[in-house]
Amino acid sequence: RKEVEQDPGPFNVPEGATVAFNCTYSNSASQSFFWYRQDCRKEPKLLMSVYSSGNEDGRFTAQLNRASQYISLLIRDSKLSDSATYLCVDTGGFKTIFGAGTRLFVKA
Amino acid sequence: NAGVTQTPKFQVLKTGQSMTLQCAQDMNHNSMYWYRQDPGMGLRLIYYSASEGTTDKGEVPNGYNVSRLNKREFSLRLESAAPSQTSVYFCASSYSRTSGSADAGTLTQYFGPGTRLTVL
């Protein structure tokens, strides 16, 4: 089993839609997670941290489910500019593990 | 602040040639990293430097060497390039590498723009 696993997609959604991605992790001791965004042919950039109590930043909401060992990212009111690859990151312990990413295409 | 910078942006090598990828950060970060990214594989850690003066192997270190020249600079060297090393290479930095305090701020990694390397 991969340490961090994501559905590669692509997710194709219309503008204004709500879309959610999940990411599963294997290290039950992990405590710190992030979502990064990566545009085509660009470097990954931090989107948001994922806290135990959940975290909301505008149209983006991140949740952590420790019992089932997954984190989620919810995007509301999708914009064309949200089209990107979203990387799930587990920084637990002494390793930082990046998921392979989920591709999102938002269509007009 | 420039953040994390990398040179060169693009490079084409022939099999067997050597080269060094340069990375520098101006955020006073302690930890620096080299990753490679291949289609469908995600980011894979090649080497990292938890602090100035230390370097350690990551997931895919074979065929590479690194030097942490000072706190700002962390270089990656390919001694004898192979076609399997064709990839996009990203350098990153963060305040801290370990998550003892689960402090998201210190663990956040900031990436450079990448180097696209092709080995023929």
According to DSSP, the β-strands at B19-25 and B74-78 are antiparallel
Could A34 and B104 be called an inter-chain contact, meaning their C-beta atoms sit closer than 8 Å? yes
- Shortest distance between the Cα of A66 and any Cα of chain B, in A, equals 15
Residue B110's pLDDT band (cuts 50, 70, 90)? very high
pLDDT, residue B39, reads: 83
Size of interface A-B (CB pairs under 8 A): 52
Virtual torsion, Cα A54, A56, A62, A67, nearest 10 deg:
10
pLDDT tens for each residue of B12-47? 999 999 999 999 999 999 999 999 999 877 899 999
d(Cα A106, Cα A12) in Å, to the nearest integer? 6
Torsion of CA B88, A104, A5, A35, to 10 degrees: 80
Per-residue burial over A86-101, b if 16 or more Cβ lie within 10 Å, else e, is bbbbbbbeebbbbbbb
Q: Name which of A31, A43, A89 to mutate to probe chain B: the one with the most chain B Cβ atoms within 10 A of its Cβ.
A: A43
At B103, the pLDDT band (50, 70, 90 cuts) reads low
Cα of A48 to nearest chain B Cα, Å: 10
CA atoms of A92 and A29, how far apart (whole Å): 7
- C-beta of residue B24 within 8 angstroms of C-beta of residue B110: no
CB spacing of A32 vs B90 below 8 angstroms: no
Q: Which residue ranges in chain A fall short of pLDDT 70?
A: 1, 93-94
pLDDT tens track for B54-79: 999 998 999 999 999 899 999 999 99
B83 contacts B119 by C-beta, under 8 angstroms: yes
The token pair at B49 is 């430097």
Of the candidates A32, A98, A100, the beta carbon closest to that of B99 is on: A32
Among chain A residues, CA nearest to B4: A43
Give A42's contacts in chain B (Cβ within 8 Å). 113-114
Residue of B nearest to A47 (CA): B108
